[in-house]
Amino acid sequence: MNAAFPLVPWPTAVEPRDGELAFPAAHVVSPEPLRWTLLAAELLTPLGVSVTGGGPEALAEGAPAPDGVVVELRLEDSADRSAGGEAYVLDVRDDGITVTAPEPAGLLHGLRTLRQLVTPRATVPTVVVRDAPRYPWRGLTLDIARHWFGPAVLRRVVDLAGSYKLRVLHLHLTDDQGWRLEIPSRPGLTERSGRTQVGGEVPPGERGWLTVEEYRELQDYAAARFVEVVPEVDLPGHTNAATHAYGELRPDGLPTPLYGGIEVGFSQLWADNPATEPFVRDVLGDVAAMTAGRYVHVGGDEALTLEAGEYARLVGLALDAVRAAGKTPAAWQEAATAAVEPGTVLQFWDPRADAAPLLRAAAAGARFIMSPASHAYCDMKYDADHPIGQDWMGLVELRDAYGWEPSTALPGLPPEAVEGVAAALWTETIVTTDHLFSMLLPRLPALAEVAWTPPSGRDWASFRARVAEHARTWDAEGWAYHPTRQVAWP
Ligand code: TNX
């Protein structure tokens, strides 16, 4: 690693050309000038690079030289189509910059890499970067149920995740403390459980949940940045917000009281209650209908009051409801004990649990997202003195977030069963936007590199030097970060 290339995640190949290009201004040439000029401006203007753009006519013989370095974005059929079209080549020469990719997602990855090369002196080193990701599912799981974070914060989270080339924002939308997405068939969910959160109510002036319209807008915003939103409705445990809103879900028909604490595992649905199946099918059907992406996550974690058979029936119902609504189901690892069909996505989080059901599910064709709490949980404290966060899985310093291997994190799992890696941020103790960002930074970049770069390209000494350079961008974006002592910040 050369200090001139503070790239995270580290690319497949970096071929320096030993020059430097002044880069105070960029002129983006692309087939869709409006779209790409805006995206490039979003990435580059916080770093002081001014951006204009236009169509390919700027490159024609005799055309007036544009103001600024030409950044040409080129979709090329001949380019590397492996890695789901996410591959790209970034070529920085003395006389201009080219990004080539088979699909638009690769073009944006190339622009994100370019942004990481901009120095404080508004120059970029000349270089060729060739790159493609290891895993397709590179995600962030974010809990907005324990504490509510609204559309404006969620857009900034999309920006952050996108800047490290993540493709999935998985939103944990429901839990004991609150319900965060309007459900047309069950309006009481948000009417009665939408404003509550850990410790009481969402701040005055905040609604506390996403309307159907806001959810659509958020997905559109994310999709424009090639991030897919995966909604999670957690059941059959973590359901107190539902049983508070609809008492009919309980055997006694009485709504449960609101819950503002941070215990887990006490709430449930009942398989034999006649209200349960229509509720599960209506809610998951509505969520599937509102969701543009391919997946709906049904939770399934920590249903500690349910005996195994009833648990498996309820999770089986949820998985079936998602498939019936035309989506691919995802669930937490506990769901492996229910009937899992090929392609079902299981999210591994608890390394202490019995691996046998997970290995059986893998043999039955389940795909795995690796989020081991000991490495990927960004709600764990960085160190014992950290003022926020939990420590039930121990401490997760930056080096812990970086130093693990997804293909061996669950012993016995065939490496081909791994679909990707997700960081997770649970928000029991996360109240402010600065809390949220400082738990993700700098750990999210570490996890993004674990998801993108194969082991041969990963190196702790190199990573800690590269990530240090990113603090300038985080400051420019207003993203709070934790200045861990494991990094020599500039
Ligand atoms: C376990 S991880 C949970 C969450 C908590 C988290 C706190 C998982 C699938 N369930 O409900 O928020 O621990 O760290």
State the CATH number of the domain containing residue 121.
Answer: 3.30.379.10
Q: Is 96 within the bounds of a domain?
A: yes
CA-proximal residue: ligand 1, atom 8 (nearest): 301
Q: Give pLDDT, residue 352.
A: 96
pLDDT one-digit tens code per residue, 119-131: 999 999 999 999 9
Residue whose entry in the numeric block shows the structure tokens 């006519």: 57
Tell whether 2 is covered by a domain.
no
Confidence band, pLDDT 50/70/90 cuts, at residue 250: very high
pLDDT band at 2 (very low <50, low <70, confident <90, very high): low
Mutate to test the pocket of ligand 1, among 238, 266, 301, 443 (most ligand atoms within 8 A of CB): 301
96: β partners? 93
With respect to residue 109, please indicate whether it lies within any of the assigned structural domains. yes
- Alpha carbon of 426 to ligand 1 centroid (Å): 7
Residues 286 and 432 in one domain: yes
pLDDT value, residue 85:
81
Q: Do residues 64 and 118 both lie within one domain?
A: yes
Residue 79 pLDDT: 65
| pLDDT tier, 234 (very low <50, low <70, confident <90, very high otherwise) | very high
Residues 141 and 126 in one domain: no
Q: Do residues 74 and 56 lie in contact, with contact meaning Cβ atoms separated by under 8 Å?
A: no
Q: Which of 302, 310, 341, 477 is catalytic?
A: 302
Asked if 44 and 26 count as a contact pair (C-beta separation under 8 A), the reply is yes
Is residue 91 located within the same domain as residue 147?
no
Q: Of the candidates 131, 149, 175, which is a domain's last residue?
A: 131
- Residue 482 contacts by C-beta under 8 Å, 6 or more apart in sequence? 382, 386, 438, 439, 441, 442
For all residues of the chain together, what is the average pLDDT? 96
Residue owning tokens 């994190």: 409
pLDDT band of residue 77 (cuts 50, 70, 90) is confident
Mean local confidence (pLDDT), 427-450: 98
pTM above 0.95, yes or no: yes
State residue 4's pLDDT score. Answer: 78
| Domain stops at, among 67, 102, 131 | 131
Q: 449 and 394 in one domain?
A: yes
Mean pLDDT of 169-184: 98
pLDDT tier for residue 380 given thresholds of 50, 70 and 90: very high
pLDDT in tens, 12-70: 999 999 999 999 999 999 999 999 999 999 999 999 999 999 999 988 889 888 999 99
Predicted local distance difference test score (pLDDT) of residue 84: 72
User: Does the Cβ of 332 fall within 6 Å of ligand 1?
Assistant: yes
Percentage with pLDDT > 90 across the chain: 94
Q: Cis before residue 9, ω within 30 degrees of 0?
A: yes
C-alpha separations of 201 from 92, 178, 245 in Å: 51, 9, 15
235 and 266 assigned to the same domain: yes
Same domain, 116 and 228: no
Same domain, 88 and 150: no
348 CB near ligand 1 (under 6 Å): no
Residue 315: pLDDT above 90? yes
Same domain, 59 and 103: yes
pLDDT single digits (tens) 254-280: 999 999 999 999 999 999 999 999 999
Atom 5 of ligand 1, nearest CA residue:
426
CA-CA distance, 25 to 123, in Å (whole number)? 10
- From the alpha carbon of 333, which atom of ligand 1 is closest? 9
* Number of domains present in the structure of the chain: 2
Which two three-digit tokens encode residue 330?
């995802």
Which pair of tokens denotes residue 287?
A: 């969520």
Which atom of ligand 1 lies closest to the CA of 424?
2
Are residue 212 and residue 361 in the same domain, yes or no?
yes
Whether residue 484 lies inside any domain: the answer is no
368 pLDDT higher than 60:
yes
Q: Is the CB of 426 under 6 A from ligand 1?
A: yes
Domain boundary among 106, 131, 156: 131
For 273-301, the pLDDT digits (tens) are 999 999 999 999 999 999 999 999 999 99
User: Tell me, what's the pLDDT at 251?
Assistant: 97
In a domain, 401, yes or no: yes
Residue whose Cα lies nearest atom 9 of ligand 1: it is 301
**Whose Cα sits closest to atom 10 in ligand 1?**
301
- What type of residue sits at position 304? L
Please return the burial class of 56, using the count of CB atoms within 10 Å of its CB with bins 0-12, 13-18 and 19+.
middle
356 and 454 share one domain: yes
β-partners of residue 66 are none
3 domain-assigned: no
- The verdict on residue 486 lying in a domain is no
Residues 141, 121 share a domain: no
For range 71-86, the mean pLDDT: 82
Instruction: Specify the CATH number for the domain of residue 158.
Output: 3.20.20.80
Pocket test for ligand 1, best of 171, 302, 304 (most atoms within 8 A of CB): 302
Range of the domain at 463: 137-477
Annotation says 302 is catalytic: yes
- Ligand 1 and 302: CB distance under 6 A: yes
In a domain, residue 1? The reply is no
